[in-house]
């Protein structure tokens, strides 16, 4: 069974950094594109970033481009999201999501999420 476990969330001041991690198990990790998707309190889903299986290609939502960096360590089956210059509007539950092997844009497994709160 594929499992994704996020960590690293917490309370941070506006302008500060935070690094999220997602530990994956039960899959051949480097076969899958991986994404971060967030959900602000009481709101809908909002895709943040994606990284290809090899780590060579990344995509970002315009709202985080230049501030967030997605990366992965395939030797440790771990996904990361480095978040800098955090804003109040980045407050959300951040999910790690596995891309389908045929189409990374299909998120077929989700973690339980880690909460990021940015105080202004």
Partner 1 sequence: SVLTQPPSASGTPGQRVTISCSGSSSNIGSNTVNWYQQLPGTAPKLLIYNNNQRPSGVPDRFSGSKSGTSASLAIGGLQSEDEADYYCSAWDDSLNGPVFGGGTKVTVL
The reply on whether position 68 binds partner 1 by CB under 8 A is no
Instruction: Tell me how far, at minimum, the Cβ of 55 lies from partner 1, in Å.
Output: 18
113 interacts with partner 1 by CB under 8 A: yes
**Residue 111's closest CA among 16, 12, 29, 21?**
21
Q: Pick from 12, 23, 27, 61: which binds partner 1 (CB under 8 A)? A: 61
Contact between 78 and 21 under an 8 Å Cβ cutoff? The reply is yes
Comparison of 109 and 116: residue with beta carbon closer to partner 1: 109
* Residue from 94, 111, 116, 118 binding partner 1 (CB under 8 A): 111
Concatenating the DSSP letter of every residue in 29-78 gives GGGS-EEEEEE-TT--EEEEEEE-TTS--EEE-TTTTTTEEEEEETTTTE
3-state secondary structure of 105: coil
List the one residue from 95, 114, 116, 118 that touches partner 1 (CB under 8 A).
95
Residue with tokens 């998707």: 37
Q: Which is nearer to partner 1, 14 or 101 (by Cβ)?
A: 101
List interacting residues with partner 1 (CB under 8 A): 35, 37, 44-47, 50, 59-62, 95, 100, 103, 105-113
């Amino acid at each position: 069974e594929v499992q994704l476990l996020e960590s690293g969330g917490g309370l941070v001041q506006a302008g500060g950094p935070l690094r999220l991690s997602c530990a994956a198990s039960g899959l051949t990790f480097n076969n899958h594109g991986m994404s971060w998707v967030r959900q602000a309190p009481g709101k809908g889903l909002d895709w943040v970033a994606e990284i290809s299986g090899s780590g060579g290609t990344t995509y970002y939502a315009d709202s985080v481009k230049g501030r967030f960096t997605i990366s992965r360590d395939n030797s440790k089956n771990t996904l990361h999201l480095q978040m800098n210059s955090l804003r109040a509007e980045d407050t959300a539950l951040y999910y790690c999501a596995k891309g389908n092997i045929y189409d990374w844009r299909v998120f077929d497994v989700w973690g339980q999420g880690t909460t990021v709160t940015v105080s202004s």
